[in-house]
Structure 1
Amino acid sequence: MLTAVTRSEASSILADGGVLVDGHEVTKGSIKVREGQRVRIVLPDVPEGPLVAPDASIDLRVVHEDDDVVVIDKPAGLVVHPGAGNLDGTLVNALVARYPEIVDVGEPERPGIVHRIDKGTSGLLAVARTPRAYDALVAALSAHDVEREYLALVWGRPEATHGVVDAAIGRSGRDPTRMAVSNRGRHARTHYEVVRTFDNPVPLALVRCRLETGRTHQIRVHMAAIGHPVVGDDRYGGARSPVPVDRPFLHAARLSFAHPVTGEPVEATSPLPADLEAVLGTLG
């Protein structure tokens, strides 16, 4: 085995678009590779050790907590789980310190994590404390039974006040560290609604985005694909001088799901953090 990963890990890498043949993403292990073809494998970021070290020095803002699940309001700049270049100082390091039982929940390198948000994105994230809760939340996400709403400031004003971006997302053939709309990618669907528009210093719109699927960088890629990249997003064309902001203007503002054990509704909301509110305050 060339990559020293297990069969299940290899399947996950395929499913996540981490294998490219001659620059094209493939998601099926049955494909036959011909002599002379170039295969590129993008391995997921994983720490060297099987156990994530606890770090109680990292502050956690807990907005919901019970014996099975917690909801965290993550600040921008905090990486969710250890990986290459970020082996410690992550949200998971803090979670293991506060909830040591999660080391046996889910994947060893990202215990308890059932979905992720980017380092530069702030907002709500659900974490499982038990294997039963983990399995149920993963299933709920797969069935699109978890409601995830984000607020984003985008360049320009979408023509329609409501819309749906239905476009598959896969790794870019030019740069595998970036995502792109691709007919070889995985199904991705984002609903958006214009909340407020601005004219000064340039046309802008505050939009509410609801994820139907949860692909890597989904909102950022989809909004850029329709000509309205997220303000401050230097990776997908959103970093521009008229509105200086040092991270993507993207915030996970609402999270709603049925409790994985009791079935009771769990709903959490998070207001825009101060740095993003300050940006809105400069607009007219």
Structure 2
Amino acid sequence: MSSADGSGAGPREFIVPESVHGTRIDIFLTAAIDGYSREQLRKAVHGGAAQVDGRVVRPSFKVRAGQRVEFVVPPPAPDGSIPENIPINILYEDDGMVVVDKPAGMVVHPARGNWSGTLTSALAYHFQSLSDIGGPARPGIVHRLDRDTTGVILVAKTNAVHIHLAEQFAARTVEKEYLALTAGRIDRDRDRIEAAIGRHPFQRDKMAIRENHVTSKPASTFYEVIDRFATGTYVRCRPKTGRTHQIRVHLDHIGTPVLCDKLYGGHATLTRNQLLKLRRETDETVVLERQALHAYRLTIQHPQSNKPMTFEAPLHDDMQTCLDLLQAANES
């Protein structure tokens, strides 16, 4: 099977190998052409961009070994963020920065498979000027939150403010506080987790505790239990470092993964029955569809006034609902 060389849009031709016999054509093309999501290619096929042995086919068409596939590769997604009229909850704004309460399900900046609906697309619509230090795909982005983590995120309007904020993150003077619900009870009232984090040895989208590995970096998270329940814990986390998935990996490391964490906890959705581990009821109402992790508070030195500033975002409704259910069960 031929593969794209990244030279841009235009007609391509492939001969289907035996190894992918019976594969849907949109999946076949996703594997054959780099830099495009399956959804992008599916839309192109739906629009008549694919022919198999001279016949236009639908995205569900299954290719057979030896067939000739002709496909007109669509123009690549632009390097910069496309402005989109997506509502954002602004916690604070001045002439140098914006503080946003990020919702669940929103990717911070464009990446493969997530070209639209991002925070940067929303920012590009609502603000005329953002810092460009991070490049055209990441205007204003100083730090990031995982797609399904909610809460406080800083955005720089000017390069000078961006540099000042980035230096604070690099020097680890930014105070970050997260709130999490975990699956399982944490025994200690407070502790510090010191465990290096690196790439998972088998799953490319995961991180793992890996000492002395080439991808590993030191990671430190202080935690303090706020409340305990029969089936979980409400915990405050203050990460000193900022490694990818740090809190999620560290809480999983001590045996209490973040509630409803698909990657590290094994559940993509959580029902009331599962949350409370009910035995005699069958309430399958879904109460959570993402990891129960929230960036609650962030304290920085303001880049222009040099005074400390703290920004807070209240728990979002889904986490608050879970917390209320757990606290009510404790009291019953």
TM bracket, shorter-chain basis: 0.7 to 0.9
Bigger relative contact order (CA 8 A; separation at least 6): 1
**Poorly superposed stretches of 4+, deviation over 3 Å:** none
State the partner residue of 2:130.
Answer: 102
Alignment-mate amino acid for residue 134 of structure 1: H
| CA drift at 1:51 | 1.8
| CA drift at 1:103 | 5.7
CA separation in 1, counterparts of 2:177 and 2:131? 28
* Partners of 1:50 and 1:108 within 8 A in 2: yes
CA separation in 1, counterparts of 2:298 and 2:135? 22
Alignment-mate amino acid for residue 315 of structure 2: L
CA separation in 1, counterparts of 2:135 and 2:194? 30
Match of 2:303 among 248, 254, 260: 260
Number of equivalent positions: 238
1:246 and 2:289 equivalent?
A: yes
The secondary structure found in structure 1 opposite 2:298 is: strand
Gaps of 5+ in 1: 5-42
CA separation in 1, counterparts of 2:166 and 2:152? 16
The secondary structure found in structure 2 opposite 1:224 is: helix
* Partners of 2:131 and 2:162 within 8 A in 1: no
State the partner residue of 1:188.
Answer: 219
CA separation in 1, counterparts of 2:131 and 2:190? 42
1:49 and 2:78 equivalent?
A: yes
| CA drift at 1:108 | 2.0
State the partner residue of 1:139.
Answer: 167
CA separation in 1, counterparts of 2:296 and 2:236? 9
CA separation in 2, counterparts of 1:103 and 1:87? 20
* Partners of 1:53 and 1:93 within 8 A in 2: yes
State the partner residue of 1:65.
Answer: 93
| CA drift at 1:179 | 0.6
Cα distance 1:142–1:103, how it changes in 2: closer, same or farther (>3 A)? closer
State the partner residue of 1:171.
Answer: 199
The secondary structure found in structure 2 opposite 1:95 is: helix
- What is the RMSD computed on CA atoms of the aligned residues? 2.0
CA separation in 2, counterparts of 1:171 and 1:100? 37
| CA drift at 1:229 | 0.2
Alignment-mate amino acid for residue 112 of structure 2: A
| CA drift at 1:105 | 3.9
CA separation in 1, counterparts of 2:179 and 2:141? 22
Moved more, 58-67 or 97-106: 97-106
Q: How does 1:174-253 map to 2 (within 5 A)?
A: 174-183=202-211, 184=213, 185-199=216-230, 202=231, 204-237=232-265, 239=267, 242-243=274-275, 245-253=288-296
Deviations for 1:127-167, whole angstroms, at most 9, x for unmatched residues?
11111111111110011111111100012222211111111
Of all paired residues, the percent bearing the same amino acid is 42
CA separation in 1, counterparts of 2:226 and 2:119? 30
| CA drift at 1:193 | 0.4
* Partners of 1:155 and 1:238 within 8 A in 2: no
CA separation in 1, counterparts of 2:180 and 2:262? 14
State the partner residue of 2:120.
Answer: 92
Alignment-mate amino acid for residue 151 of structure 1: L
Gaps of 5+ in 2: 7-34, 38-75, 276-286
CA separation in 2, counterparts of 1:60 and 1:160? 37
| CA drift at 1:187 | 1.1
TM, length-normalised to structure 1 = 0.79
* Partners of 2:177 and 2:297 within 8 A in 1: yes
Alignment-mate amino acid for residue 262 of structure 1: S
CA separation in 2, counterparts of 1:175 and 1:131? 36
CA separation in 2, counterparts of 1:238 and 1:122? 20
* Partners of 1:132 and 1:261 within 8 A in 2: no
